[in-house]
Amino acid sequence: MIRPHPESDLQLNVMVLGSNVITLLKSKSKNGDYILLENIINDFLKADKKRTPDLFIYTLLFLYSIGLIDYKGYKIKLTPNLEKHPNLFD
């Protein structure tokens, strides 16, 4: 289980930021198309002054490592299996 440090700022946690990136991708993608990273990072950084480009890259790395996003060049998209929430008992 992934658990954040008890004294960390949860607004800057990659799991929380990952949900924000997923929301941005859902709002900007049409028909599951790839979206330019520059479009997502601009909205990501505008949401909070504490966010940095490094946090964005760490968040993308986290989302890619658990299989929620795919990339091609400088574009990313949500993987198709995100529409169905994973269930431990399936």
Query: What is the model's pLDDT at position 82?
Result: 52
Alpha helices (runs of H) in the chain, residue ranges in sequence order: 14-28, 37-46, 53-65
Question: Which of residues 29 and 86 earns the better pLDDT score?
Answer: 29
Compute the Cα dihedral for 13, 16, 22, 25 and give only its sign.
negative
Domain limits, the chain: 11-78
Which CATH number describes the domain made up of 11-78? 1.10.10
pLDDT in tens, 6-56: 777 778 888 889 999 999 999 888 887 899 999 999 999 999 899 999 999
Query: What is the model's pLDDT at position 33?
Result: 87
DSSP 3-state of 28: helix
CB contact set of 4 (below 8 Å; sequence gap of 6+): 10, 13, 15
